[in-house]
Amino acid sequence: MLRVMLCATVLGLPLTAAAFNGKDLVKLCNRTDVPSKSACQAYIEGAADGAYNTIEAIGGTTGPRVGQYFCLPAGTTPDDMTTAVRKWAAGNADKLDYNASTVVALGLGASYACRSEP
């Protein structure tokens, strides 16, 4: 029994080590079924939230900070964010091997660039 569990674990490792990249995100977001659309939107929201929390931890989100790719204006909807990421991905196929969360940050940055404080 222990041998079977060990073999199953070893065989499963390559599957869990694969990173979710931009190509995977685009495939997910291009699907038309409701669960896929929801998963796409949830991933983008989660990645954006993670980036926001990281920036907050290193000094705040008011104005451009080191590593801050985007500044979402009040009222930005999940649909707006998904559209921005999909638009960026469509024009940057050469960058879709990047990690999916990086693709989200770059896509949002293209539509919601931070403005310098006066």
19-44 pLDDT tens trace: 899 999 999 999 999 999 999 999 99
Q: How confident is the model at residue 2 (pLDDT cuts 50, 70, 90)?
A: very low
With beta carbons less than 8 A apart as the criterion, state whether 37 and 78 touch: no
β-strand partners of 21: 99
* Per-residue confidence (pLDDT) for residue 115, from 0 to 100: 72
Domain definitions of the chain by residue range: 19-111
* Per-residue confidence (pLDDT) for residue 71, from 0 to 100: 85
> Which class would CATH give 19-111?
mainly alpha
Has this prediction a pTM greater than 0.95? no
With beta carbons less than 8 A apart as the criterion, state whether 99 and 51 touch: no
Measured CA distances, 22 to 44, 57, 64, 89 (Å): 11, 26, 25, 8
- In this predicted structure, the answer to whether residue 77 has a pLDDT above a threshold of 80 is yes
40-70 pLDDT tens trace: 999 999 999 888 777 666 665 555 445 567 8
Upper half-sphere CA count for residue 86 (Cβ side, 13 Å): 15
